[in-house]
Chain A
């Protein structure tokens, strides 16, 4: 366990600086966006006042402003997608940098006096930490961004909504921010199992090279089919299951896919991996 922890720490340190830059960028871009959107709104108000409109008329024409105007803009959504793309990119880079980096680092990793599966698990946990750091920094930054908007916009034009309300009612972000912890755990659990599946696919490629690409893709397709097995059973049995039962079966099949991915990865790392 200590060795696994050390490996996780090692993998995390390799991405830490870039991750920190990305996190600071996300918060900074969103803060700038909040200020800009608030100022644009205030300019509209000022212009309307100069035209002789009353406050009621202004609210009828321009509406009051809430933080939802920020969450609906590219200033807010853009950095979030930047984070998503970074994680997706790093899922592949975390393996290939060990082969194609300055030194063939995988050689050193594989000769460490520890179970080889720990390398796989450490990389998996690093991806999870990276993902959750984006989610948590967003959750921490949002109340600050809301506060910033409330400082800029006068109270009579401002509608307060909480960070939770803004996040859980945002359709585009509803797949990142779940309203209950159970949903969050299930959603991100399935996410990390999908990453495990891709990792095993990458290890197939690293073990069998050209042939491995086909094997890796085949493995991923097989895993997805295994994950979707409850739907097939459900259809075969004439919609036998209730929605909650079907969801529980999905969790079970996801765990089976995770176990299969880990076992296959362990086998490939021990017996088949090529440096």
Chain B
């Protein structure tokens, strides 16, 4: 044994060095405190479907985690291979776990799903060919959830060669409607053309039905963007677009420090809004009609922050309260105004709307571990749920820092 001492000593150093490093890592990861959403008021079932995404610790060394009413789950505690999948309490993970075969080989985006009680639809837009003459092909996969195994696919080559992206998918009766937006720039006229299209596919016959341009405009500096829903895979009565123009002006700035010196004149580009277009358009999915939304004067100066398919939510904040005005698209009027009181040291980190409920995630500023979740019924304005994010062991350490920043739905 004596003649092996050099090698054995080095093996011991390796074992001690690498072994303790990873044992220490594993212990550190498993010693992170667990958090959960503790119901203070309301029905605990209201938060069963959601997870709060957070960071424990100070960045860049903070550890990401998800907090549910059952407890918390740190990404660092996941196995190496599981960490390559999506976040555990997320829609992406749920879809992958339940419909693994449907998603194989499809380049879907985060918002190119549709799911209701009967159907699951996933769409991708693939580009091939030359840069100057791209070939854009849409692939639609769908299945009737009762017969999970049968997946149908429709492929359709787009006539348009302009840049386009899919932003929503809906199902009406037997038809799948894919919504795209895109733009093209005319160098001769120095104008941008923006457009929103729908592509309709028949599920029973698995074929393309029609392509319709539902909105288009051409100006110097024009932008067309859809409003994204909080829960993007749900059936939505309306799809809403914002058409916005920015006038780019030239502002002359005179610098005249010394009255004797010659005037220095500089130019700088500024983005100034000179009576800009800032319109909202609502596309009714069932009838296929589009209308410009007439907003009341009080809402014209506000940006719409949230959208749930039937209502627009205009949020404005001041020091100690936040106002939410709810605008009904079909009735074209503000149906409710809600004031959320929050203390001067409390920030609203995330707001989320679904099914007539407004989810508000709040946290003390500067962040400690004190965070809370309130759910408002937007019909009545009442708080229907109040929960606190608490450490499961009930301890509170001085250097504990938990940053909550997002609410995710799983279904």
Give chain A's interface residues, CB within 8 Å of chain B.
5, 8-9, 12-13, 16, 19, 129, 132-133, 135-140, 161, 163-165, 169, 179-184, 186, 237-244, 247-248
Contacts and interface: CB of A to CB of B under 8 A. Distances in A.
A180 B25 contact: yes
Contacts of A9: 3-4, 6-7
Given A139-B21, A181-B22, A247-B84, 10 more contacts: A5-B4, A9-B4, A13-B6, A129-B10, A137-B13, A138-B17, A140-B17, A180-B25, A182-B81, A242-B96
List of 5 A-B pairs having minimum Cβ-Cβ separation, nearest first: A136-B17, A182-B80, A244-B84, A181-B22, A238-B105
Nearest to A128: B14
B19 to A, nearest CB: 9
A139 B26 CA distance: 16
Interface in B93-117: 96, 100, 104-105, 107
Interface in B11-41: 11, 13-18, 20-22, 24-26, 28
Interface string B342-364: 00000000000000000000000
A79 to B, nearest CB: 16
Interface of B: 3-4, 6-7, 10-11, 13-18, 20-22, 24-26, 28, 60-61, 76, 79-82, 84-85, 96, 100, 104-105, 107
A185 B20 CA distance: 15
Contacts of B21: 139, 163-164
B355 to A, nearest CB: 31
B22 A12 contact: no
B6 to A, nearest CB: 5
Contacts of A184: 18, 22
A179 B74 CA distance: 14
Contacts of B85: 242-244
19 contacts: A12-B10, A19-B10, A132-B18, A136-B14, A136-B15, A136-B16, A137-B17, A163-B21, A164-B25, A169-B61, A182-B81, A184-B18, A186-B80, A240-B104, A242-B84, A242-B96, A242-B104, A244-B85, A248-B81
Contact of A139 (B7, B17, B61, B105): B17
Contacts of B16: 136, 140
A161 B84 CA distance: 27
Contacts of A8: 7
B11 to A, nearest CB: 7
Contacts of A241: 104
B268 to A, nearest CB: 29
Given A12-B6, A164-B28, A140 B22 contact: no
Given A169-B60, A182-B79, A133 B105 contact: no
Nearest to B103: A242
A136 B104 contact: no
Nearest to A140: B17
Contacts of B79: 182
Given A161-B61, A164-B25, A135 B18 contact: yes
Given A9-B3, A139-B17, A240 B105 contact: yes
B13 A140 contact: yes
Contact of A243 (B15, B84, B104): B84
A165 B61 contact: yes
Given A129-B7, A180-B80, A164 B18 contact: no
Contacts of A182: 79-81
A204 B349 CA distance: 63
A112 B265 CA distance: 89
A157 to B, nearest CB: 18
Contacts of B18: 132, 135-136, 139, 184
Given A140-B17, A164-B24, A239 B105 contact: yes
A183 B80 contact: yes
A146 B7 CA distance: 28
Contacts of B61: 161, 165, 169
Contact of B81 (A139, A165, A247): A247
Nearest to B60: A169
Contacts of A19: 10
Nearest to A8: B7
A36 B20 CA distance: 29
Contacts of B6: 9, 12-13, 16
A129 B8 CA distance: 11
Nearest to B81: A244
A181 B3 CA distance: 31
Nearest to A168: B25
A5 B26 CA distance: 31
A165 B24 CA distance: 12
B181 to A, nearest CB: 25
Nearest to A125: B7
